Amino acid sequence: MAHRYHLTVRSTDIDVIGHVNNAKYLEYMEWARFEWIWEQGFTLDELRRRAIMPVVVNININYRKELKMREEVTAITTVVKVGEKSFVIRQELYNAADILVADADVTMVMIDANTRQSISLPAELKEALLVELPKS
């Protein structure tokens, strides 16, 4: 099931060209990822308690349309692939007219917060991700 996160473009998101700076699209996706993973039960406190952290190791983003100040944006996050130590999610940004403005495939790896080495996904997270994985 897709996770939805809503936001409004702020004045500080705008660059000298008068539209949202490309780096802000990535930031919007980051906010949506955090909300999504927290809803899976892995809040920042829980991640710290377990001494684990999900880290982005790859993002492939397509910028499709510009966004302007005060536009309403919906970020949709879906699971694409689940591995032993990593998972891939697709994130899509839509404007208020429901037009796709950007999309990205994001690969994340779970690491041990102390050793900074990759580790297996926690069983509960892997199970939650597999439930979200579209049936093919």
Render pLDDT for 37-71 as a digit per residue (tens, 0 to 9): 999 889 999 999 999 999 999 999 999 999 999 99
CATH classification at residue 119:
3.10.129.10
Tell me the C-alpha distance between 105 and 33, whole Å: 12
pLDDT above 70: residue 136: no
DSSP 11: G
Q: What proportion of the chain, given as a percentage, has pLDDT over 70?
A: 99
What are the C-alpha distances in Å from 2 to residues 76, 99, 129, 134?
6, 17, 11, 10
Tell me the C-alpha distance between 31 and 38, whole Å: 11
Tell me the C-alpha distance between 80 and 130, whole Å: 9
Render pLDDT for 1-15 as a digit per residue (tens, 0 to 9): 799 999 999 999 999
Q: pLDDT at position 20, please? A: 97
Average pLDDT, the chain: 96
Q: Which of 13, 15, 45, 112 is catalytic?
A: 15
Q: pLDDT at position 135, please? A: 79
pLDDT average, residue stretch 94-121: 98
Q: Is 51 left (phi over 0), alpha (psi -120 to 50) or beta?
A: left
**Measured distance between the N- and C-terminal CA atoms of the chain, rounded to whole angstroms:** 14
Residues forming a β-bridge with 93:
75, 102
Q: What proportion of the chain, given as a percentage, has pLDDT over 90?
A: 90
pLDDT band at 28, cuts 50/70/90?
very high
pLDDT band at 104, cuts 50/70/90?
very high
pTM value > 0.85: yes
Known catalytic residue at 45: no
Number of neighbouring beta carbons within 10 Å of residue 33: 20
Q: pLDDT at position 134, please? A: 83
What are the C-alpha distances in Å from 124 to residues 39, 56, 79, 128, 130?
12, 20, 15, 6, 10
Domain count, the chain: 1
Domain containing residue 81: 3-132
